[in-house]
Chain A
Amino acid sequence: MKGFPMNTSLVNTLLMLPALLLLAIVFAWPLLDSAWLSTQASSVLTGLAPTANGGANWQRLLGDARFWQDAAGTLRFAVVSVGLELVLGLAMALVLHRPGRGRGWLRALALLPWALPSTVLALGWRWIYNDPYGPLNSLLKLFGAPAYGFLTTPATTWLFTVLADVWKTTPFVALLLLAGLQSIPAELEESLVLEGASPSQILRRLTLPLLRPWISLALMFRLAQALGVFELVQVLTRGGPAGSTESLALYAYLNAMRFLDFGYSATLVVATFLLLLLLTAMGWLLLRRRPLEISR
């Protein structure tokens, strides 16, 4: 595994140009546009026309308790759901990697939740959590327990958004890790077995170290997605109860589409991007170093 050596030869640079151009158009341009808009007052009060307001949006952001609360909430959601997805996804990948009858079917089946559109999934979970008629509360009733407000308890509702997200996205993580598992030569494991290593030793000494690049790939992917979580909360909770599950993306969306405050919405978008950049950089630094030493 050689990282990603920066080759400065002219040919390579030229070959990368189209891709870079595409990235600039679909990624850098909207971001720069948002960065510019975040320095403007552009809302229903200005007739939607942008006029420079000297950083007032950013000043407002720093003092906006709702922004900080949403940022903390979004972070909590992302860290917990991605953490669970990695653990469960690894377990799932190990099971799916075992040779056996019907493995193809099992793999296809395991992917189903991921193939579901988020909106449909959120509607489904909304019913599962329904109070008093949903299946979970029916189950509680069966055991004589009182109904629980899965979507009406500000302290715990975020956990149930995590559960819905984990249910949907674990297969995606499992798929990535399964690809990683299949890239590990079978002989390595066999030789360790011959040496008398236990399964848990094999997992710790061989599988996990060799899987590290794949884990970090899954982590990056999922962290970026989870920090931008939108449809799930929009449909499942609308950010409630009491704003406890509002994500940064939902807040930015409300500002743009409901409040018609595009200046502030753009500010939220840029702030979310900066946060994401910071986190992925941290994750990258944390996971990038060691695999090389161990896998050699």
Chain B
Amino acid sequence: MIYLDNSATTPVRKEVLDTFVTVSENFIGNPNSIHQLGLKSKKLMKEATEQVASLLNVRPQEVIFTSSSSESNNLAIKGVYSFYPKRTRKIITTKLEHASVLETIRAIGDVEVLYAPLDEKGHVDLMALERLLQQEPLLVTIQHVNSETGLIQDIDRIGQLIKKYPKTFFHVDGTQSVGKLPIDLTYVDLFTFSAHKFFGLKGIACLIKKDSVGLSPLISGGHSQSNYRAGTPSVALIASLAKALRLALEEQNQTYQHVLALNQYLRTSLSTLPQITINSNEEDSPFILNISIIGKKPETMIHQLEAHDIYVSTNTACSSTDPFSSTLVALSKSKEVAKSSLRISFSKNNTEEDLKTLIKILREEIL
């Protein structure tokens, strides 16, 4: 099997699954119970939380565990707007955001959305952003790495700009960057990421919420792991996330170099094929290479590749029923390009051999 859909999800790694199983079997107490068994679970949860906090350079009470990045995005956006009813109802975002951001904003209803202008490559135009910031929106929400093309936004510089406006918070969706690129949360107030993108389990994610931000919970009813999300915490999932994050960060450098080499190899090889347009910029995240083969339907190509046990995606898995990629349209490419795009996304487990096979099948059967 050649799995090149790692931005949709990654397979769980054995060490992480082992932790999940061991904790599920041996830590049976509810961390809210005050007897020994509860205390044991609580202690593990506390250590796991501290580990996550220290890996991301935040404080333990700033870590909120959720079920998915989508939930984290919902909690960040809805939570802030509900906590500050008297501040402006404006929000800045981009047209490239994930559905769990754009649809959440729509769901709030009474907010005025200001789309940050982008330069020709898709980066947020900082001068234009600064002008929008003068309207003092309550929140700016921008993804770190785009899930379709790998476009990287400069969250450091954006964050520094936003810091000049004390009534504006900065939310970053880091789902496609944690475990892949260096993360610095100095200027970030709220930060989303999910374990299954770096060989953790599905069903566990995080929202980092700095102490300076107020937030209303989406799920009320207690404060066992955090005041911002009620429900009996899954200690096994939480421990598994802490471990997956540690391993990913320990290997991050090696993984990055490995994936960068793969990306460059594929990019170079495909650029000799005239039918192929490469949509990702050279400086985008090497974990994603987005290409288009004009005139071909992505669904057909995916199934053709699947017949050879090769797995890639159209646009993001979460919106693959949409007719074409709105991100690619927004990135001022043509609808033709957007309609025929494939996303190839790498991980540490891929090899150059995988890519040779992919290129061979593309040439022989698709082009």
| Binding partners A and B | no
Instruction: State the A residues within 8 Å of B (CB).
Output: none
Instruction: State the B residues within 8 Å of A (CB).
Output: none
